[in-house]
Chain A
């Protein structure tokens, strides 16, 4: 499959994520949108990695060129998992205190 399809899919996913983050006020949805953006980037990384690796395999069967992208994805997933746990904990605490998950309630420190 041509690489363009992957890029369009990723752009679409990332844009959905951005629009979601910007427009929604529910903290959980915002959170999911952030995850969506992360995964869009992950998908792109994997796609490019596969592309470069495939090209390099043609000249040398044991090459490791282009494999870094896939390794990078694992790192992102680990970090994202940690981030999710922290973020969800914050949201739970927020709900306990305000009985709401609206991010616009999170401006109490302002005054």
Chain B
């Protein structure tokens, strides 16, 4: 069965080729059928693989040699194991729902662009599958670059808007910075171990010095920073909202940003062997979680709030990875994929109904117009806020409990972030769905629930968001009920052997922690709802801290001032001084010199026959003089030289 693994990425690739090449001739319904169908086919194969792995264990399928040179070889091999099969299910499952949703959401596009959209989307899923399936770092890197490219193409999908192009470029460049770190890490591994295959690397990890491991893991983490939007490379993700809303859902939930988490979870042994890196990962993850949560408190664009919440949740995942709770991080990736995809698709449904209005201050009272969107959105908000028994509670709690075991300070700050999460999510919910409608009359007249292609994914994702958490019931509730941990244990066995048994807090303490945080979160939700329920549209400038938060701590401005503007200045210098007056000056100077010389020589050809004859005679005289006096001239020249 696992021999058929190549089908999983093959289907989206075929979809990409068909839709990409046939975008001008295929009809819209055909395009959406192919685009969604290939992902569904991948999902079915992934499901079969999942059960195969569950029954028969992991395997590595080598398709052909990718690079073969003297001394080493890099096979084009796929890793079919517990971790990759879970990710396959998330990517293809959530990906399929997003494709289905897109078929209705993007229906106003022209057929040609509709085809282009689905082609990009399929390529995106293909790249992500390659990233997850690769059995060595090089294959992973192909997918790693592929998702970067596709995010660029999709963020800049509406390429006629220059701001969107700028956002696309920003995403691509930020990712490239991270990719450099990843690439250096791979070269370092290759240099030290001579192999990049997971199996060989993890088996020989003890041959590396601690300096090597720390360096490699830090560089890999730089790659993860770029792809998974951590400080300092996170600013591209909120700007990535320029793309169509389903694309945001795909980037934020199923693909792209989870790549960094997957990579670290895959390399968990390396990270466990490098405690210094783990601390860096945990601290950066936690700071990102807090920073992004504070920014989300004051954003007014419905998608921007969700974007910062993604950055914040990714921070939690990295916190989990940093404290060694690999299962918890993967668990949170999964539940986050469900509720974040749901939130984005719900936001898309709202935006669709509001005729592309994204400012939540101009919404309100949508509860009665969009009932299905409202209910599913509410469930997703409860899930992300961490109210039991919704899925977010279990995954976030697992990470925070593990963080408590490492350092209680992590736990306290993490809970603080979770409180902010609850607040901004319910601020968003209240402003959008409760209160009075604050938009124009025309918008109110056109409000409508979305078609079934859009509500069906919402309902499926809502069910998953509600019940997804039961895959990982913590040990205090029931012994050995954490089926995900049980399933993933072979992947993280090596790390567990090194760290030993996790120090769980006592059961009573854990109950108190859960209870207190849940009550605090519930209070936060109450505050948010009561505060924004009677919200009236006002356009007063925010002041003080709110203003700083609304401007995202001025991080973009800081980057502009420190990096972008100096680079632009250098580029301008190169362009104006070195290029224009240096190189162009030289080339044009040669041309000008020849032109000037020609213009002067042209005067000789006056057309006056008398002049010609005079010159001829003078030349003859000079010639005769030189001819008969060559010795004298040579002597003269010798004397003066």
Residue positions of A touching B, CB distance < 8 A? 18, 21-22, 25, 30, 103-104, 106-107, 109-110
Chain A residues contacting B609 (CB-CB under 8 Å) are 103-104, 106-107
Asked whether, in the complex, the Cβ of B613 is within 8 Å of the Cβ of A22, the reply is yes
Residues on A with C-beta less than 8 A from B617 are 18, 21-22
The residue from A22, A106, A109 contacting B614, defined by CB atoms under 8 A apart:
A22
Residue B71 CB within 8 A of the other chain: no
Docked-complex contact A25 and B607, CB < 8 angstroms: no
| A-B pairs with beta carbons under 8 Å apart, 22 shown | A18-B617, A21-B613, A21-B617, A22-B610, A22-B613, A22-B617, A25-B610, A30-B613, A103-B609, A103-B610, A104-B608, A104-B609, A104-B610, A106-B607, A106-B609, A107-B606, A107-B607, A107-B608, A107-B609, A110-B605, A110-B606, A110-B607
Q: Give min CB distance, B605 to chain A, whole Å.
A: 8
Residue of B nearest to A33 (CB): B613
- Residues of chain B touching chain A, judged by Cβ–Cβ distance below 8 Å, are 605-610, 613-614, 617
| Identity of the chain A residue whose Cβ is nearest the Cβ of B620 in the assembled complex | A18
From residue A109, how far is it (CB to closest CB) to chain B in Å? Answer: 7
State the Cβ distance, A35 to closest chain B Cβ, in Å. Answer: 15
B603 to A: closest C-beta gap in Å: 12
Residue of B607, B608, B613 near A109 (CB, 8 A) is B607
Q: For the complex, what is the distance from the CA of A22 to the CA of B608, rounded to whole Å?
A: 11
Interface centre among B605, B607, B609, B617 (most CB of A within 10 A): B609
Q: Which residue on B lies nearest to A108, using beta carbons?
A: B607
- CB proximity of A106 to chain B, nearest CB, Å: 6
Contacts of A30 in B (CB 8 A): 613
Q: Is the interface of B mostly helix, strand, loop or mixed?
A: helix
- Using Cβ atoms and an 8 Å threshold, which residues of chain A touch B606? 107, 110
Please, how many angstroms separate the alpha-carbon atoms of A6 and B441 in the complex? 120
Q: Which residues of A contact B614 (CB under 8 A)?
A: 22
Considering the complex, give the chain A residue whose CB is closest to the CB of B617: A18
Give Cα distance in the complex from A103 to B68, angstroms: 82
- Contact residues in B for A21 (Cβ distance below 8 Å): 613, 617
Complex CA distance for A107 and B610, rounded to whole angstroms: 11
Nearest CB in chain A: distance from B611 CB, A: 10
Besides the known contacts A21-B617, A30-B613, A110-B605, 17 further A-B residue pairs in the complex with CB atoms under 8 A apart: A18-B617, A21-B613, A22-B610, A22-B613, A22-B614, A25-B610, A103-B609, A103-B610, A104-B608, A104-B609, A104-B610, A106-B607, A106-B609, A107-B607, A107-B608, A109-B607, A110-B606
B605 neighbours in A (Cβ, 8 Å): 110
B residues in contact with A25, CB < 8 Å: 610
Could you tell me the distance between the alpha carbons of A110 and B609 in the complex, rounded to whole angstroms?
12
Residues of A within 8 A of B608 (CB): 104, 107
In the bound complex, CA of A103 to CA of B610 (Å): 8
> Across the interface, which residues of B come within 8 angstroms of A106, CB to CB?
607, 609
Which residues of B are found within 8 Å of A107, using beta-carbon distances?
606-609
A67 to chain B, nearest CB (A): 26
Per the bound structure, the CA–CA distance linking A104 and B610 in Å amounts to 7
Assembly CA distance A104 to B614 (angstroms): 14
Q: Looking across the interface, which residue of chain A has its beta carbon closest to that of B621? A: A18
- Cα–Cα distance between A91 and B262 once the two chains are bound (Å): 97
Nearest chain B CB to A7's CB is how many angstroms away?
15
Nearest CB to that of B616 among chain A residues?
A: A21
Q: How far is the CA of A57 from the CA of B605 in the complex (A)?
A: 52
Task: Name the distance in Å between B497's Cβ and chain A's nearest Cβ.
Answer: 97
Chain A min CB distance to B425 (Å): 84
Question: B610 — which chain A residues lie within 8 A by C-beta?
Answer: 22, 25, 103-104
5 shortest interchain CB distances as A-B pairs? A107-B607, A110-B607, A103-B609, A21-B613, A106-B609
Chain A, residue nearest B609 (CB):
A103
Inter-chain CA distance A9–B89, complex, in Å, is 116
In the complex, how many angstroms separate the beta carbon of B435 from the nearest chain A beta carbon? 86
Look across to chain B and name the residue whose beta carbon is closest to the beta carbon of A18: B617
Bound complex: CA A25 to CA B609 (Å):
9
Residue of B nearest to A106 (CB): B609
